Amino acid sequence: MPDLAIDGGPAAAEALSIPEWPQPVAESRENLLEVFESGTWCRGPWIERLEDEFADYHDAEHAIAVSNGTVAIELALRAAGVEPGDEVIVPSYSFIASASAVPTVGAIPRFADTDPATFTIDPDSVREQITADTVGVVGVHFAGYPMDLDELVPICEEHDLFLIEDAAHAHGSEWRGRKVGAFGAFGTFSFQESKSLPSGEGGIVVTDDDVLAERARTMQNIGRAQGETGYRHYTLSSNSRMSAFQAAVALGQLETLPAENERREENEEILLSELEAIDGVRTKPRDDRITARGYCLENFRYDPDGFDGLSRERFVEALRTEGVPVFDGYEVPIYRQPAFFRDEVRRLLPPGAEIPDYRNLPLPGAEQLCRENVAYSHPLLLADEEGIRAVADAIRKVQAHAADLRAREA
């Protein structure tokens, strides 16, 4: 076995050529020029076209384009009727916006644990967190791997709770042949430039509910009723509108998304067939209910016992040197972020609100993922087959040298 690249040997993944991201497409460029020359840079036909095409693509009746994925969650919470002092169950392992949107609208987050096998919210933990003050659940289709909708939707129906699907990672993901987003009250998406459907910034909210859709459109547009442009405002709300430039870019990228997702799925299947045979690498379970995958990143769990006790940090460093751009994901669960210290949360909530002691929550699944997660971004899955197989070759190479690397850690 050649020396590790970290010791001056050849990189095992030299064949891995990852395309730059985002990849501008010609249609986006043409759309941008049309918008620029039209002089209609705010609301108008480009926004409407994106909303119609995205709703159709994601099997939803309605879509409301917004300025980014974070305000998409906030808008969904407000439109779902969340009031100050309400409780909303949120995921413990995700980007902070999946939970921080709740206190931003004056409600109290209650964190559910994460299933370490799937990286998604644990339905059993959701049940445990329900109280008399709980009004809804925010769950994440983490890395485009759908949360268990067969469990979560009935839980919400049983307890009269709304479900918001944070689908920022899941453009194109399907559950039982239907795209995610409209299984609950709302689905929210991000178009930030790292996502598989990028427009720089931007996002969108989808729903099948006519009443919720009208409410969200009004709240998205500073309280104006749908179609109105004057100065009559029916509710107190902010401006979360998307610009026509963002819509122009997103529409072009939407054209290429289905083919890109197919290629990612094909390459992930090749990579999984390799990774599943490597001791110490734990991939997500295969689930026949997931009938198509969207991607933002992908993950596996690292078990040092399969690598002679080598720390994850040293494993990641060695693998990156071999040419595989992996990273370790979130360092702490959301509830241990400084932003969730009690004083920070308290200033957003009604006086006297009872705030959980977030820093001392015992949520072992989320904490396990903070120790074990190894992630890579979705553009890796657009490489050619030789490069995809080189990823596994690089892991096996690090594994073959793991005892030596471990000895140097001591």
Give the residue numbers annotated as catalytic, written as ranges: 95, 166, 169, 192, 195, 224, 231, 241
Strands 297-302 and 281-282: antiparallel
- Rounded distance, CA 371 to CA 161, Å? 32
- Rounded distance, CA 293 to CA 136, Å? 26
Could you give phi then psi for residue 301, rounded to 5 degrees?
A: -100, 140
- Specify the residue for token string 């929210």: 188
The answer to whether residues 375 and 329 touch, using CB atoms and an 8 Å cutoff, is yes
Burial class (CB in 10 A: 0-12, 13-18, 19+), 346: middle
The answer to whether residues 329 and 373 touch, using CB atoms and an 8 Å cutoff, is yes
Q: In what order do the strands lie in the sheet with 297-302?
A: 281-282, 297-302, 373-377
SS3 breakdown of the chain: % helix, strand, coil, rounded to 5?
45, 15, 40
Distances (CA, A) of 403 to 71, 139, 311, 325: 47, 40, 11, 22
Q: In what order do the strands lie in the sheet with 178-179?
A: 178-179, 174-175, 290-292
- Rounded distance, CA 212 to CA 394, Å? 49
122-128: list long-range contacts, CB under 8 Å, 24+ apart. Answer: 122/365, 123/148, 123/151, 123/152, 123/155, 125/363, 125/365, 126/89, 126/152, 126/155, 127/155
The two three-digit tokens of residue 49, written as one number: 């076209």
Cross-strand pairs, 312:
none
Q: What contacts 95, CB < 8 A, 6 or more positions away? A: 168, 330
Q: How many CA atoms lie within 13 A of 183 on its CB side?
A: 28
Peptide bond into 22 cis (omega under 30): yes
